[in-house]
Amino acid sequence: MCSCGTSGLLGVTSVARMTTRAAMLVLLAGKGLVTSPHMAAATTPEASTCGLGLSGEGGGSCNAGGVGTAGGQHFPSSLYYAETATRTMKTRSELLTYIESEYAFGVVADLDLMSRDPQEFVWRSWLKKGRIIRVNGRMERERFVLAWDEELELRSSTATRNRSMELSELVLYNRLLIAFCDYSGIAYKIDPETGKTFQRWAIADGNGNEPKPFKGEWATVKGDTIWLGSIGFEWYGPSGDVLHRNAEWVKLIDANGGIRNLNWHPVYQTIRSVTNTTLPGFLWHEAVEWEPVHRLWVMLPRFASSTERYSPGIEHDNTADLLIVADEGFTDIKAMRLEHHDPRFGFTSVKRIPGSPHLFMVLRVHEDGQKHRTQAAIIDLHGVFYTEPPYVEVGDRKFEGLAFL
């Protein structure tokens, strides 16, 4: 924003270098008599004496990016930017390809009913931090090992029907670590250094007008938006009829905290058709990732059946071994079976390794009552494993969310 001298005229020292018509417009505008949207077109690049605006007599100053005023009138912002002004290129780091020797990551736990502290009125989860370490030589096939660092307790005193902090997914968004509770529908910001948690959003089920919290099970960042999804199929009532399809909606969360609701029923049905899991079968999603370099969707369903209609409890006998890769519009979908499948384990998260256009880290968990186990692996989009053994032990908790830090 330019401040003029005591004469009340804008850019007196610069007028001499404008065309006659431009000078008249500036003089009249300085008296508050006229504002013209074509004023910038009438000036020449030399009209700017400070690089980003017009400076006036009497020790005028320039504030880059402001909207100029003279005599109470607003000028078009383009007037204050010369053609020779320095421009800054914004680099999207997710589109860059590079190699690191180590990749720091964190995983969060969903302890279900065991999240409630037995002594205090508080609910807990855990953030376990680790590193993927590259062990191959420069000209060798890529190989990785996992190393573990500290484990932080996460606490919250906010709950829904006496349940909370059942964290099912984790994303790094605008340098913030965000975790989602699949029971309370609350999204938390997590400080990865201290373990402190801060509530950010309470997300409603279905189209956003439901009283029930959203059961968020997978999350990824696509462009400038968090995409948060659920298990992705119909829910049945006691009579066996379809009760609702709230789990087929996807939430789009922007940087301002705005939430849009997207009906993904056609997308989920397309995937079920390709994988032969349409009714009476089902396909349960908890691991979905957007791959920005080749603009692909990567999915590893946790449970799947081609013959059994879903009812609570049968899913643990139907863990999936599928890797699904689809183009952005889901018009080209490929599904393959992964090796090293253990029917006790189902996938809960998948994240692209930073800088790599083809490598992903995946989590899979096993539940047996109150006994839980989690394993991790590095794979590519062809189902090739880059860890030895193929699945590495993470711990005896159910870690469902994964993010690179």
pTM of this structure: 0.77
pLDDT of residue 223: 94
Residue whose C-alpha is closest to residue 14's, from 85, 80, 86: 80
170 φ/ψ angles, rounded to the nearest 5 degrees? -145, 135
Tokens representing residue 130 in the block? 């680790």
Cα 373–chain centre separation:
26
Question: Whole-angstrom distance between the N-terminal and C-terminal Cα of the chain?
Answer: 39
Residue whose C-alpha is closest to residue 252's, from 211, 203, 286: 203
Is 400's pLDDT higher than 80? yes
pLDDT of residue 87: 59
pLDDT of residue 237: 83
Tokens representing residue 154 in the block? 């996460």
Least confident of 110-119, 223-232, 336-345: 110-119
pLDDT cut 90: percent of the chain above it: 67
C-alpha span between 139 and 10 (Å, rounded): 64
Domain boundaries, the chain: 102-404
Q: What is the CA radius of gyration of the chain?
A: 28
* Torsion angle in degrees (nearest 10) through CA of 224, 228, 232, 235: -140
Structural contact between residues 50 and 62, judged by C-beta atoms closer than 8 angstroms: yes
Tokens representing residue 202 in the block? 């309470």
Is 79's pLDDT higher than 90? no
| β-pair type (259-263, 296-299) | unpaired
Residue whose C-alpha is closest to residue 39's, from 63, 60, 68, 64: 68
Arithmetic mean of pLDDT over the chain? 83
Residue whose C-alpha is closest to residue 24's, from 4, 11, 72, 79: 11
Structural contact between residues 130 and 146, judged by C-beta atoms closer than 8 angstroms: yes
pLDDT of residue 130: 98
Tokens representing residue 128 in the block? 């376990």
Is 238's pLDDT higher than 60? yes
* Distances 383 to 296, 324, 338, 345 between C-alpha atoms, Å: 15, 10, 6, 17
Helix (H) or strand (E) holding 346: strand 345-352
pLDDT of residue 83: 52
The CATH class that applies to domain 102-404 reads mainly beta
Percent helix, strand, coil in the chain, to 5, is 15, 40, 50
Annotated binding-site ranges for Ca(2+): 168-169, 217, 286, 400
Report residue 344's pLDDT band, with 50, 70 and 90 as the boundaries.
Answer: very high
Q: What is the pLDDT of residues 5-44, one digit of tens each?
A: 433 333 333 333 444 444 444 444 444 444 444 443 333 3
Annotated binding-site ranges: 168-169, 217, 286, 400
Q: What is the pLDDT of residues 113-158, one digit of tens each?
A: 899 988 889 999 999 999 999 999 888 899 999 999 999 999 999 9
